[in-house]
A and B are shown apart, each in its own frame.
Chain A
Amino acid sequence: MNMATTNLPAATPARARNLLVAVGFGIAGILMYFGGLFGVYLRERSQVRSSGGTWIPDKAHIELTPPGMIIWTLLISVAVMQWAVYSIKRDDRQHALLAVGTTLVMGAMVLVQHGWQLSQMNLIADEGPTTAATLIYTIVGSYMVAFVIGMIFVALMGFRALAGQYSSRQTDGIVAASLYWYSLVFVYFIIWIAVFIAK
């Protein structure tokens, strides 16, 4: 058998990774968006506190249990989403779809917990609008919008996988969705620390 490299067939051209590249730029944009919000939030909070003022209104109820549950839900969803990636890379479409579905259920749980928490915080009910309330609503509201987009993205990639578009030869859609999902978890981690823990 002739093993000369000149007789070997030409290598398959590298696959264009459009989706991964575009999602990478999308993630960068989202991180900068929230970076801008956090920058304003932390600066304003610092100024109010350094002048002896109260940042969170006295009658507001920011409990740690709901955000704690949300962060744990999201951390578990990271593992589940990675399970989807692991499965699709091994042509295990059944488990990949199970993982995508489970991630979406967890996403719905996160949205419900967000909604419940926003309804309970009492940020403006008694003391009227405050700077803190404006910024917290902006951050959490923006996050929920980004999160819903993420759920749609994950669901869309799940449907594409169901239709057979993704397999071990082509995993970009699931990987891209997972990267976006991880970035959302990272953003919430910052919200959890900066807004809810540090108050």
Chain B
Amino acid sequence: MLCADFLEFLLVSNSNKKRKTVTENQTETESNAADSASGPLEIDGLAGVFGTSDHKNIGRLYIFFGLSGGMLALILNILVRFERVNIGSVGVLDFGSSNQFFQTWSLSRTALLFFCVMPLLVGLATYLVPLQVGAPSLSFPRAAALAFWAWLIGILIHVVTVFADGGLGEPDPTSQFAQGMDPEATELSMLSIAMVVFALLLGTVCVIATIISQRPQGMSLFELPLFSWSILVAGGIWVLALPVWLSNLAISWVDFQGADALRYGDVENIWDQLSWLWSQPMIFAFAIPVLGIAGEVIPVSSGVPQRQYRIQQVAIGALGALSFGAFAQPFFNPDVANQAVFVAMGILVLLPIFAFFGGLANTSFRGNPSVSAHLILSVVGMLSLLVAATVSAFHVSGPAIGAIQEIDETWLDGLIMWLRDVQGTVIATAVMEHVLISAVIGIVSGIYYWAPKIFGYQLNRNVGVLSALTLFGGLVLSGGSNVINGILDEGDQVFHSSAYEGVWDSTAVEFFNIVGGIGSILLLVGVGVVALDITISVFLEKGNQEDVNDPWGGHTLEWSTESPPPIGNFSEAPVVDNERPLLFPAATGGDEQ
């Protein structure tokens, strides 16, 4: 009963609470609530919670469970970091077997991506995209609800099966510390993670279908708000790349069914076939919306319209194109790290992020930025992504500089060999960590910026700043220590004893793993205080409710309606003709001031 009350509290936002409306099944054919002769269906209690197809309720559920998933991922990350403190002997935490260490390690990655970053992005988009494009509801609201529940059930099954000696493989089954896997749990782990990804894809398709087909009159794709544009680009890349990952998983699963797995279903190889999703360039596809969020927050906080709007859109599109990494599968193409396209993408990914950041800086310098939690978080998120792209370029640059040896075999030989050695070290982990944590920081920025719209309350500014500082500090310590340990030659497959065979200085590596552990704790604190702030400000109703309709002077359509928006979102269909309809209403033609 308590659980039902809590979920209902989560779903029934501020203004709707009085009338106990928790669901409506408005279809995509209705233009707004007034068109519905019978009015919205009102259902209370658990039926309302589980039956909701309102995009706003679904979005809130994603945000709540996504933050929870992020905390799980970061707790696992802390365990992994402290296990890495003792090299060559039983780890600090002593997982008991190499299986359990690998299961924890791999689950921390799958959880960070599929339980936290992607669902938070899909959740924010599910809530905001219909509002930003002036639509009365999400396309296929019931499919979106199905996607959410399938995702939630999928992650629960996956976590249980991983801890029941399942998981996505066992890289070192002959190790003296291996204790074997449960085949049925392993099989269920594979199926459940497929279910999770499929659900996220379904949710993504609902969002991008809304962007394309539910825009109001006058809003071309070039007039889309930057967040919606970034979701369109990111969603497009996910729809193209994640099915390839699912095909890898399907091959592994079929092979795993046999009495003797030959290659793909061999527990030693399962993770190797799937790991490309957490590697560059593909990992950058999950941070594309960070640009979109910063592109909303920084101009609004500066009180001026975004300059060179088209260039910003092109930068987001370019990041999408450069992050499509389904071809870069080391398991099937071991030499991919030395191939020109891979290396070029790893280096060029820096350019669109740098260009976008420059565009934001140019805009904010011309305005008068008012310091707020979401502004600080956005800047920190962009900086983190910039650092991620720089580390990525550094990581792949060995073969690129090696091309110089075609001209002079002796020139820079030592440096080039050293750069080549950097590949396969924990610098790859550092790139992944920087990208995904920058995505988390960007998402938290979005939560603080849109909290009045989503929850009907402003979140606490000081807590937001604290979150920014702890997340950034945590990333510097955790990601930075991985970069240093990569230079010291700690291998990327830290669950494997061979990862430590070539390290230059074991003591230094162990020291930096302690530093990384402290950074991981800070990351957990950073996400934890956000969850705490939401609990206090929203659930305990301590947040600021003043001027929640448009507290920041927003430029886009979501700020033109109530907070939280009513059923149907808008009292009448908006007409726009430029990308900043609240700054420049349609009649002015969108001329810049």
A-side residues, CB < 8 A to B, are 13, 16-18, 20-22, 25-26, 28-30, 32-37, 39-40, 43, 124, 128-131, 134-135, 137-138, 141-142
B262 / chain A contacts, CB cutoff of 8 Å = 129-131, 134
Residues of B361-414 whose CB lies within 8 A of A? none
B153 within 8 A of A: no
A43 / chain B contacts, CB cutoff of 8 Å = 332-333
Q: How far is the CB of A126 from chain B (nearest CB, A)?
A: 15
**Beyond A29-B239, A37-B250, A43-B332, is A134–B258 a contact (Cβ under 8 Å)?**
yes
Q: Are A25 and B213 in contact (CB under 8 A)?
A: no
A128 / chain B contacts, CB cutoff of 8 Å = 260
Chain B positions 231 through 271: 1 when the CB is less than 8 Å from some CB of chain A, otherwise 0:
00000100111111111101100110011101111000000
The CA-CA distance from A43 to B331 in the complex, in Å, is 12
A32 / chain B contacts, CB cutoff of 8 Å = 239-241, 243-244, 326
Nearest 9 CB-CB pairings of A with B = A36-B247, A36-B244, A33-B243, A32-B243, A22-B209, A18-B139, A129-B258, A138-B254, A29-B243
**Beyond A18-B140, A22-B209, is A36–B243 a contact (Cβ under 8 Å)?**
yes
B208 within 8 A of A: yes
Q: Are A18 and B240 in contact (CB under 8 A)?
A: no
Q: How far is the CB of A8 from chain B (nearest CB, A)?
A: 17
Q: Are A134 and B254 in contact (CB under 8 A)?
A: yes
Q: How far is the CB of B264 from chain A (nearest CB, A)?
A: 7
Q: How far is the CB of B190 from chain A (nearest CB, A)?
A: 13
Q: How far is the CB of B577 from chain A (nearest CB, A)?
A: 15
Chain B positions 121 through 160: 1 when the CB is less than 8 Å from some CB of chain A, otherwise 0:
0000000000000000001100000000000000000000
**Beyond A16-B28, A129-B262, is A22–B205 a contact (Cβ under 8 Å)?**
yes
Sample of 27 A–B contacts (CB below 8 Å): A16-B214, A25-B209, A26-B205, A29-B205, A29-B239, A29-B242, A29-B243, A32-B240, A32-B243, A33-B244, A33-B246, A34-B247, A35-B244, A36-B243, A36-B244, A36-B245, A36-B247, A39-B244, A40-B247, A43-B332, A129-B258, A129-B262, A131-B263, A134-B254, A134-B262, A134-B265, A135-B251
Q: How far is the CB of A19 from chain B (nearest CB, A)?
A: 8
B241 / chain A contacts, CB cutoff of 8 Å = 32
Q: Are B251 and A138 in contact (CB under 8 A)?
A: yes
Q: Are B332 and A40 in contact (CB under 8 A)?
A: yes
B-side residues, CB < 8 A to A, are 28-29, 139-140, 201, 205-206, 208-210, 212-214, 217, 236, 239-248, 250-251, 254-255, 258-260, 262-265, 326, 332-333
Closest to A43 in B: B332
**Beyond A32-B240, A134-B264, is A37–B251 a contact (Cβ under 8 Å)?**
yes
Q: Which of A13, A34, A36 contacts B217 (CB 8 A)?
A: A13
Q: How far is the CB of B333 from chain A (nearest CB, A)?
A: 8
The CA-CA distance from A16 to B209 in the complex, in Å, is 10
Q: How far is the CB of B136 from chain A (nearest CB, A)?
A: 10
The CA-CA distance from A124 to B254 in the complex, in Å, is 13
Q: Are B244 and A18 in contact (CB under 8 A)?
A: no
The CA-CA distance from A189 to B254 in the complex, in Å, is 23
Q: How far is the CB of B202 from chain A (nearest CB, A)?
A: 9
A39 / chain B contacts, CB cutoff of 8 Å = 244, 332
Interchain pairs with CB closer than 8 A, number: 97
**Beyond A22-B205, A29-B201, A37-B250, is A129–B243 a contact (Cβ under 8 Å)?**
no
Q: Which of B236, B254, B326 contacts A36 (CB 8 A)?
A: B326
Q: How far is the CB of A175 from chain B (nearest CB, A)?
A: 14
A16 / chain B contacts, CB cutoff of 8 Å = 28-29, 139, 213-214
Q: How far is the CB of A23 from chain B (nearest CB, A)?
A: 9
Q: Which of A18, A40, A129, A131 contacts B260 (CB 8 A)?
A: A129
Apart from A35-B244, A131-B262, A131-B263, 13 more pairs, CB < 8 Å: A13-B217, A16-B139, A18-B28, A18-B210, A18-B214, A29-B239, A29-B242, A36-B243, A36-B248, A40-B332, A43-B332, A134-B264, A142-B247
The CA-CA distance from A25 to B201 in the complex, in Å, is 10
Closest to B273 in A: A40
Q: Which of B140, B240, B332 contacts A28 (CB 8 A)?
A: B240
Q: Which of A13, A30, A138 contacts B250 (CB 8 A)?
A: A138
The CA-CA distance from A134 to B242 in the complex, in Å, is 21
Q: How far is the CB of B144 from chain A (nearest CB, A)?
A: 11
The CA-CA distance from A118 to B324 in the complex, in Å, is 35
The CA-CA distance from A22 to B217 in the complex, in Å, is 20
Closest to B139 in A: A18
The CA-CA distance from A36 to B249 in the complex, in Å, is 11
Q: How far is the CB of A56 from chain B (nearest CB, A)?
A: 15
Q: How far is the CB of A18 from chain B (nearest CB, A)?
A: 4
Q: How far is the CB of A32 from chain B (nearest CB, A)?
A: 4
Q: How far is the CB of A136 from chain B (nearest CB, A)?
A: 10
**Beyond A32-B243, A33-B244, is A21–B251 a contact (Cβ under 8 Å)?**
no
Q: Which of A20, A22, A40, A142 contacts B206 (CB 8 A)?
A: A22
The CA-CA distance from A51 to B512 in the complex, in Å, is 46
Q: Are A21 and B209 in contact (CB under 8 A)?
A: yes
Interface centre among B28, B140, B208, B239 (most CB of A within 10 A): B239
Q: Are B239 and A28 in contact (CB under 8 A)?
A: yes
Q: Are A37 and B28 in contact (CB under 8 A)?
A: no
**Beyond A18-B214, A29-B239, is A137–B254 a contact (Cβ under 8 Å)?**
yes
**Beyond A43-B332, A134-B251, is A29–B240 a contact (Cβ under 8 Å)?**
yes
